[in-house]
Amino acid sequence: MNVKHDLEVLIEKYKDKNFFTFEVNFVNMAKDCLREINRLERENIELRKQLKEHFDNPPLKFKELKKNMWIWDNKNKCWLYLFKPLDWEPIKGLRYAERIIEHSAEGYYMDFEKGRFYRNQVEE
């Protein structure tokens, strides 16, 4: 049983008819229900996306690192503020700090290591 489809069929069937008050209210109620179903579907898609991001926490690739983002360092078990990723061929590195910084001189440098950095804290 697909309620959304049934409501769409019902609305289409009665859209050009002349109604008594009860029938008008019924069709309006069907339209309201359809709008609510569509809203809930949009919210469900957004919620699924957020849940996936939260629970699906693969290690970050270098290309996913962005300036001024917080990342989880799973080697040292701490959050790092990424001032900016540094792509110096053949070396890839990070200018970072344990707090928000305004100038790179305030931070530290480390080489990028695959499998070390995450969007969310890794629970082990």
Query: How many CB atoms sit inside 10 A of residue 7's CB?
Result: 19
| Tokens 């049934």 found at | 6
Question: pLDDT digit string (tens) for 32-52?
Answer: 888 888 888 888 888 888 887
Q: Are 23 and 10 in contact (CB under 8 A)?
A: no
Mean pLDDT over each residue of the chain, to the nearest integer: 85
Overall average pLDDT of the 100-107 stretch: 90
DSSP state of 76: T
In whole angstroms, what separates CA 64 from the centre of its chain? 14
DSSP state of 62: G
Question: Which of 12-21, 68-77, 90-99 is the least confident region?
Answer: 12-21
In whole angstroms, what separates CA 119 from the centre of its chain? 12
CA 84 – CA 61 distance, rounded (Å) = 14
Amino acid, single-letter form, for residue 30: A
Question: Which of 9-18, 51-60, 87-96, 99-108 is the least confident region?
Answer: 9-18
